[in-house]
């Protein structure tokens, strides 16, 4: 009996130590598991942010480049793509949208002028403000992307009874213009409707996805003009 009484407390202490060790190890393992799971969550959230970062941000100062279509050379009128960019006074278009509001009963004729800063003679290309498609607040505007009859024009100053003609030039002084009797608008190029119709769904899809990188790529590459013959 004495041996039994002596051994019983010994086994109880061993059991207590084993339970403590088992519990400690379990807590340590659980901590490691929790740390591992937390790391996975952080990595997953970072992975979700990466595509958004690649989609770019709204740029109120973005420009739309209006480039010559591939292979554009001198036409019957003698204007090259570069000359169209140099002489282009404004872009005119017809639309049923005004400030992104559609009107079935009204057809609007709109125009945008080109300053010297809106001519890139290296590409060459004319530039429109990107806010004609995505405004300062980041809202999509359909006035231009749903337009048709899109023409690039120049101004001609004509002196009656003579063959004297002066092509529009922003550097012309008012006193020079006063020497001429008539100012006419001369159409020199146009954006084909199939260009607008093909680029519209691409811009709208990229905008819906908040993919500004793609929107501005389309601004830079998709709008092309042809000389008016």
Per-10-residue mean pLDDT for the chain, 229 residues long? 48 53 54 55 54 78 93 65 92 95 94 93 95 93 95 86 71 68 88 95 96 94 90
pLDDT at 6: 45
Give pLDDT, residue 90: 94
Return the domain boundaries, the chain.
1-54, 63-227
Tell me, what's the pLDDT at 111? Answer: 95
pLDDT (0 to 100) of residue 25: 52
Alpha helix (H) residue ranges in the chain: 2-54, 81-87, 174-177, 193-208, 212-221
> What's the confidence (pLDDT) of residue 157?
82
∠ CA 18-23-24, nearest 5°, is 100
Do residues 192 and 68 touch, judged by C-beta distance below 8 A? no
């Amino acid at each position: 009996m004495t041996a039994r009484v002596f051994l019983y407390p010994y086994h109880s202490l061993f059991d207590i130590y084993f339970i403590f060790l088992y519990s400690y190890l379990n807590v340590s393992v659980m901590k490691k598991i929790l740390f591992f799971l937390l790391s996975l969550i952080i990595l997953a959230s970072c992975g979700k942010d990466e595509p958004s970062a690649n989609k770019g941000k709204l740029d109120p100062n973005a420009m739309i480049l209006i480039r010559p279509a591939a292979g554009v050379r001198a036409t019957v009128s003698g204007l090259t793509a570069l000359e169209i960019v140099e002489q282009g006074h404004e872009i005119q278009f017809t639309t049923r949208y005004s400030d992104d509001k559609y009107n079935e009963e009204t057809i609007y004729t709109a125009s945008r002028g080109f300053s010297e800063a809106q001519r890139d003679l290296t590409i060459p290309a004319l530039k429109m403000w990107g806010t004609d498609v995505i405004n300062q607040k980041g809202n999509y505007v359909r006035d231009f992307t749903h337009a048709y009859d899109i023409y690039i024009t120049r101004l001609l100053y004509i002196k009656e009874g003579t063959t004297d003609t002066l092509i529009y030039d922003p550097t012309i002084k008012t006193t020079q213009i006063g020497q001429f009797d008539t100012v006419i608008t001369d159409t020199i190029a146009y954006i084909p409707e199939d260009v607008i119709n093909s680029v519209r769904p691409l811009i709208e899809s990229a905008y819906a996805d908040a993919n500004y990188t793609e929107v501005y790529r389309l601004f830079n590459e998709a709008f092309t003009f042809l000389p008016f013959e």
